[in-house]
Structure 1
């Protein structure tokens, strides 16, 4: 117990700081993934062949390659183009692009779940396409895709551990730093796992609250 107490005193603040970094990356990744995902869906539904091709290639490439390789492409590749993002920014961009491809498929499946008759009925009532999307389609789509979006957000949170490979001081890299000096990998990796478990549980509870709220409003 004395060893546990001393570990908490020595390393607790560092773990909390690393957890905060993970939360910041996760929030930024989620926001970017929704932007990239929506753009990819719009591109796939576009009347322009070029936009459809770009969107299809993006989803195909991201879903077919490892997330770690994508992180390396952004972090090591962009400097060769004269762009020098920080490790934090490169990690957020890479994870946002990765998650965005999956979000695009989630949104697409949600749109396919809406009966076409609703589009036709709204047009018959004189509603424009944007008005139909905002007032009728999107609220239904959001309820449908909320659970898979939560799963993707949790996956994005756990993928932050990949950024330790590009020197982002997240939970994983912080734990590895401590282990290199204490030679006690078991307890510190367990501590890291527990913190990730707490963060993913928080995301799950937030999603459950949003689902209940959507049910009450419907």
Structure 2
């Protein structure tokens, strides 16, 4: 079948109208996932109970596809829990935040383990509180150590949002399906989605490298 540029000219704006949905889910889930990932690092060290819960959570979310998690959360849990009926956007944010948090937990933990223990011991000897040690020593250095891996996780998260149309979210893939059913064209509308995701994640990668350079030690 011949390439038809007129389809792109006519429908590209409709397809891109789904981009704000992708950005909203990605940004909110990334923020919540970072908080979850950071919290699990400290909860893991709290006691044996919290360590077991965190490890079980990480094991489940890293051991199953995000698509299955989304379908299970949106369609499966309402049938199991009476009165549980989250909206599409809430379901997406919760699932992607939990999924991202599970991966970020391991990434941030590696960053924390890479901090010189002498700094923490010196701060304790000077009477610095545990809260201030975490806020001023552990967290800043941990994020500096793992920033490239964190940015890669954010990029992965953005790409994974392409499955949200499975529960009716009107993202770019949802718009692509609409155009495809109207024009019977597959390649042209999909090309718009393909290029948009590539450019968006290329920009994220450039931002990550810029921030990484700024945070490097002199």
What root-mean-square deviation, in Å, do the aligned CA atoms of Structure 1 and Structure 2 show? Answer: 1.7
Q: How many residues align?
A: 214
The answer on whether the counterparts of 2:8 and 2:188 sit within 8 Å (CA) in structure 1 is no
Deviates more, 1:37-46 or 1:207-216: 207-216
Q: Which residue of 2 aligns with 1:143?
A: 144
Query: Quick one: distance in 2 between partners of 1:76 and 1:38?
Result: 29
Give the Å deviation of 1:13: 2.2
Alignment match, 1:170: 171
TM-score normalised over the length of structure 1: 0.91
The aligned counterpart of 1:51 is 50
1:144-176 CA-to-partner distances (Å, cap 9, x unmatched) read 111001000011101101111111111112111
* Structure ranking higher in helix proportion: 1
Task: State the shift of 1:9 in Å.
Answer: 4.5
Q: How does 1:1-218 map to 2 (within 5 A)?
A: 3-4=4-5, 6-47=6-47, 49-80=48-79, 81=81, 82-215=83-216
TM score, norm. by length of structure 2 = 0.91
Distance across 1 between alignment mates of 2:191 and 2:161: 17
3-state SS of 2:17 partner: helix
Structure 2 Cα separation of the partners of residues 93 and 22 of structure 1: 14
**8 Å Cα contact 1:150/1:204 also seen in 2:** yes
Bigger drift between 204-213 and 142-151 goes to 204-213
Higher relative contact order (CA 8 A, sep 6+): 2
Q: Is the 8 A contact 1:32 1:96 kept in 2?
A: yes
Shift of 1:137: 2.2
Contact 2:176/2:189, CA 8 A, preserved across alignment: yes
